[in-house]
């Protein structure tokens, strides 16, 4: 039994309607779906050495899976009241240990590897962004420690916590969920200056010794050291 002309026409119209409907659905998916997908994380710039980063740059990467943000402010209660999203907390005293009777020295490599990997879920492939208050050098001390261990992917927030909140950028009270990770350091001896070498360079014209402590500690007016003051010839 053959198909009539009217049946063929009706079938063709239904096919066209179906084609138009499917095409409309596909166009809608292509147009609207990106609005419901999570934002693509921006690419990170390679760090060849520790450097300053700006607040807007940090804001763009707070959720980046290859970034570990570390809050180095002195007060844990201040961190609990509010911090940069996804920032973990590290007190500076965890970065210091006595060495041969001398206080406040960097711990040994294995202790630092465990601290950074097990406690802060940090790995060699990650970028680390540090911040603290303007009044303390905690972030820069950790930056130097990481540089000592051969890790160059280090950023220090320019202006610190004060600049972040002054620009009314997002804060949170949530502590990020972390799993233990593996970090392996390799001490770069060129980063260190031994006491004998410094003593031999006191009168050298091609060497500048910088004392980065607060001015009153440099001058000897303040300080917890038994012998106050500074290394002869050092600049503040």
Instruction: Decide if 84 contacts 62 (C-beta within 8 A).
Output: yes
**Tokens 């760090």 correspond to what residue?**
47
Domains and CATH numbers, the chain: 51-190 (3.40.250.10), 193-236 (no CATH)
Q: Is the confidence at residue 32, as pLDDT, over 60?
A: no
- Determine which helix (DSSP H) or strand (DSSP E) holds 97, and give its type and residue range: strand 97-99
Nearest-CA neighbor of 139 among 154, 126, 127, 149?
A: 154
Mean pLDDT, residues 145-160 = 92
| 84 CB burial (10 A radius; 0-12, 13-18, 19+) | buried
Across the range 8-20, mean pLDDT stands at: 55
What's the whole-model pTM score?
A: 0.74
Higher pLDDT, 33 or 142: 142
**Burial classification of residue 156, based on how many CB atoms lie within 10 Å of its CB (0-12 exposed, 13-18 middle, 19 or more buried):** buried
Helix, strand, coil percentages for the chain (3-state, nearest 5)? 40, 15, 50
The tokens of 234 are what? Answer: 């050092």
pLDDT at residue 93 in the model:
86
**Which pLDDT value is given to residue 194?**
86
Q: Classify residue 123 as exposed, middle or buried by CB count within 10 Å of its CB (0-12, 13-18, 19+).
A: middle
Q: State the Rg of the chain over Cα.
A: 28
Q: Are 44 and 63 in contact (CB under 8 A)?
A: no
Residue 48's pLDDT is 66
Q: What is the pLDDT of residues 165-183, one digit of tens each?
A: 999 999 999 999 889 999 9
Contact yes or no for 187/150 (Cβ under 8 A):
yes
**Mean predicted lDDT score pLDDT of the chain:** 83
pLDDT at 36: 46
The model's pLDDT over 104-140, given as tens digits with 9 standing for 90+, comes to 777 788 888 998 999 999 999 999 999 999 878 899 9
- What pLDDT sits at residue 139? 93
Q: Are 105 and 191 in contact (CB under 8 A)?
A: no
What proportion of the chain, given as a percentage, has pLDDT over 90? 50
Q: What's the confidence (pLDDT) of residue 124?
A: 93
Q: Predicted confidence band at 15 (pLDDT cuts at 50, 70, 90)?
A: low
- Supply the DSSP symbol for 83: B
40-63 mean pLDDT: 79
pLDDT band at 192 (very low <50, low <70, confident <90, very high): confident
Q: What is the pLDDT of residue 182?
A: 93
Look at residue 92 in the predicted model and tell me its pLDDT.
Answer: 87
């Amino acid at each position: 039994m053959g198909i009539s002309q009217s049946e063929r026409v009706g079938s063709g119209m239904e096919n066209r309607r179906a084609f138009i409907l499917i095409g409309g659905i596909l166009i809608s998916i292509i147009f609207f779906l990106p609005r419901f997908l999570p934002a693509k994380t921006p690419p990170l710039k390679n760090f060849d050495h520790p450097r300053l980063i700006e607040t807007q740059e940090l804001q763009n990467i707070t959720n980046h899976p290859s970034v570990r943000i570390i809050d180095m402010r002195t007060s844990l209660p201040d961190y609990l009241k509010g911090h940069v999203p996804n920032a973990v907390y590290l007190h500076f005293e965890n970065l210091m240990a006595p060495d041969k009777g001398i206080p406040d020295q960097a711990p040994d490599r294995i202790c630092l590897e465990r601290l950074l990997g097990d406690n802060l879920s940090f790995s060699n492939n990650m970028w680390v962004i540090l911040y603290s208050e303007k009044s303390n050098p905690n972030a820069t001390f950790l930056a130097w420690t990481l540089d000592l261990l051969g890790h160059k992917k280090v950023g220090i927030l320019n202006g610190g916590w004060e600049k972040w909140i002054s620009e009314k950028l997002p804060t949170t009270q949530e502590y990020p969920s972390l799993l233990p990770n593996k970090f392996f350091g390799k001490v770069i001896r060129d980063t260190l200056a031994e006491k004998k070498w410094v003593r031999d360079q006191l009168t050298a014209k091609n060497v500048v010794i910088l004392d980065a402590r607060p001015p009153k500690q440099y001058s000897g007016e303040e300080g917890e050291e038994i012998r106050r003051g500074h290394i002869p010839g050092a600049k503040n």
